[in-house]
Amino acid sequence: MKRSTLVEGRGRHWRLTRPVWIATLTIAVTGAPALAHHSFAMFDRSKTVVLNGTVKSAQWANPHTWFEIIAPGPDGVVQTWSIEGPSPNILIRMDWKPNEIQAGDRVTMTMNPRKDGSSGGVLGAVKLADGTTLRGSPPGVGGAPPDAGPPPGAATPPGAK
C-alpha cells in the first residue's frame, strides 16, 4: 500500500505519493547551488574601472563569455585582465555577434573589479575601435552602467586616452 498525502486546491483533491514528494524535495535542494552560482558577490559593484587595451582572447562558451585584455590597471602596471561576461545567448540578444571582438582588437572596456584585488572583473560595456559601444549586460545588471559607457568619475588607468 502506497502512503500518500491529500492535497486540496481549486476544487480538486490530489494524492501525492512518496516518490512525488521525494522528487520535489530533490529538485528543490539540488537547484540551490545553481542559483548560488549566479551571484555577483565577488565583484565590487561600487567601483568601475575602465581598461584601454588589446584583446588577448575572446571566448564564446556557456555558461559565461570570457575576455582577456592586456591593459594597464589603475596602478599603471600592464597586465592581462580576465573579464567575465554573460552567456553568449544574452549577448546575442543585445545585438552582439560572436566575431565582434577578436584577439588583437583595441578596445575600451568598462568593468566592476573583483573584490580580492586580482586582475579581473565583470563586464559592463565595451567600446570598439570604430566607436561602437556594446553593453555587457542589461542596464544595472552584472556591472553594466545605465548609459553603457564609462560612468562619470570612473577610474581611468594612467596613460589611457
Query: Given a cut of 90, is residue 143 above it in pLDDT?
Result: no
Checking if the pLDDT of 34 tops 70, the result is: no
Q: What is the pTM of this model?
A: 0.64
Q: How many helices (H) and strands (E) does the chain have?
A: 2, 8
Q: What is the pLDDT of residue 151?
A: 40
Question: Quick one: the chain helix, strand, coil %, rounded to 5?
Answer: 15, 35, 45
In the chain, beta strands by DSSP E = 4-9, 12-17, 49-59, 66-72, 78-84, 106-113, 120-128, 133-135
Q: Using pLDDT thresholds of 50, 70 and 90, give the confidence band for residue 58.
A: very high
More confident residue, 35 or 20: 20
User: pLDDT band at 84, cuts 50/70/90?
Assistant: very high
Domains annotated for the chain, with CATH where assigned, are 4-37 (no CATH), 49-135 (2.40.50.140)
| Position with higher pLDDT, 14 vs 21 | 21
What pLDDT sits at residue 95? 87
**C-alpha cell recorded at residue 114:** 573583483
Residue-level pLDDT at 134? 92
Q: Specify whether the CB–CB gap between 55 and 104 falls below 8 A.
A: yes
